[in-house]
Structures are given as C-alpha cells and as structure tokens.
A and B are shown apart, each in its own frame.
Chain A
C-alpha cells in the first residue's frame, strides 16, 4: 500500500532555532498534503493544507510566518517551525492525498518536536 514517511521522527532543539520537518509520499504522487498537530491525549488539529506548486492554506489561528510550508514537488512537502519556542513542542503529523485515488489520504508516522 501507499506509504508516507516523515523525517525526522523526533527532534530536540533550543528555543529560538528553526526546525524543518519533511513529509514524503514514497510510492505515489500527492498534489495535496496536510499538516496536523497533536497535543498529548488530544485529537489531530489541521494546521494547513499544502498544495503542490502553490501557497499553503492555513487554518484559522495558525501563524503562516511561524509555520512555513513548502510543497516543492508531488512527493515532498516541508514544514519549518521558525524561531521555535517551548509551546511549539508537539507531535506533528502529515498526510498525503493520492493524486490518482483522490478520495484516499495516507498518514505519516509523525514527528515529535521538543523545544527546550
């Protein structure tokens, strides 16, 4: 089946630094990828929708200058958390919608970000 990978799986960084998280669709092309955030014991909250070749669409309350999204190809989207602070510590999950099977969305394993 279709696989979505994320790199890194976990990262620890100092406050004020920027962190980039990659989301890749390994055996299918994804025109649309989604970025979620999940706090402990809470649900997934959609942060933004990433469309290949165009600007991302951010959900209300999500700072686009804080969470930079780039969808440079049909298999790669990146999320950069800029000037990270401890409150940005969370589990970040991406998903990708199959270009052909547009009704199907596949999830990555997630990236645990800890900001000290």
Chain B
C-alpha cells in the first residue's frame, strides 16, 4: 500500500534562512508527487507538482526515486511562507491522493 511520511510536525526557521520540508513515500508503481499548502484559515491549495518541475513562490521540489523522496525547498524563507504543508502521492491514475501528516512551517522574524 502507498504511504507518505513527513517526519517533522513543526519546522521553525528565521526569515531569510533556507527551508527544507521533508517528504518520503512508499509506492510500488510510478509515483506522482504533489505539495499542497494551507495558510491560516484558508483552504488547501496546490503548491506544486513534480511533473511540472517548476518553482512556485520560490519553492522547488525534486523527485528522487532512489531515495523515494520529494523534499520541498526554498533558499530564503519569508514570513508569508508560514503555513501547513502537506506532501501527497497520487496513485492509480484516478486522482486519488494519499496525504502525509503535514508539517507546520513557522517563519520567525
């Protein structure tokens, strides 16, 4: 069965410091990985997906199949990055998503 692991419940960094939110997955097939973000009092929204290989709001994530990881990175954290971040794995081609437990990112001044 598929599984997504986010080992950190809370990550606190100072403004301007680099950020790395860890995500590891377990899936026997070809994975599709996503990062979703939930800002305070807002709904869950897509941040980025691995197939796009794009940078959104300064965030990037590279799929490492050897390490089964999809860590989210940003070189310089901003206060507005404070939010809950969920890593998700899509399987079966039917848009079914398996979510990790989430990491709360807190960017301090």
Q: Which residues of A contact B (CB under 8 A)?
A: 4, 32, 34, 41-46, 49, 93, 95, 97, 102-105, 107-110
How many B residues, CB 8 Å from partner?
Answer: 17
Provide the residues of chain B in CB contact with A102, threshold 8 Å.
Answer: 95
B44 touches A46 (CB 8 A): no
**In the complex, what's the smallest C-beta–C-beta distance from A81 to chain B, in angstroms?**
21
Chain A residue numbers with a CB within 8 Å of B46 are 104-105
Q: Which of B83-109 contact A (CB under 8 A)?
A: 86, 94-102
Q: Does B45 contact A (CB under 8 A)?
A: yes
> Is B96 touching A49 in the complex (CB atoms < 8 A)?
yes
A108 CB contact (under 8 Å) in B43, B86, B96? B43
Q: In whole angstroms, how far apart are the Cα atoms of A93 and B46 in the complex?
A: 15
Task: Please give me the residue from chain A that is nearest to B87 by CB atom.
Answer: A43
Residue of B nearest to A104 (CB): B46
Question: Is B43 a contact of A109 with CB atoms below 8 Å?
Answer: yes
Chain B residues with Cβ below 8 Å from A32 are 94-95
Is the CB–CB distance between B102 and A107 below 8 Å? no
CB-CB nearest in chain A for B38: A107
